[in-house]
Amino acid sequence: DAGITQSPRHKVTETGTPVTLRCHQTENHRYMYWYRQDPGHGLRLIHYSYGVKDTDKGEVSDGYSVSRSKTEDFLLTLESATSSQTSVYFCATRRNDNNYGYTFGSGTRLTVV
């Protein structure tokens, strides 16, 4: 969707290196989310943010940290990448009204070798 841009789209990195994925939105949405998608597991919530500098952990937060210094950007950092973090990562935002509308990014395919 045009409202969310994830970067990079693809990345290969080595075990033990730090990696940062970026999610940028232009919709001024308050809530933002990071998910990982793995075969047989669906999408699992890593972290979410409910405002600038306000974040909380999701189901699979170990090994990940996030930051949100501006409304439009939500960063996901793997401090020391492991092979188990090879996955497709999706960012999402939620509309600010009560319509329960969500926008998903196109995903980042991360391979840790």
Task: Tell me which residues in 37-96 interact with other proteins (CB under 8 A).
Answer: 40-45, 48, 50, 56, 58-59, 90, 92, 94
Answer for which of 5, 22, 31, 86 binds other proteins (CB under 8 A) is 31
Contact 22, 75 (CB under 8 A): yes
CB of 106 to other proteins, least distance (A): 5
Contact positions vs other proteins (CB under 8 A): 1, 31, 33, 35, 40-45, 48, 50, 56, 58-59, 90, 92, 94, 98-100, 102, 104-107
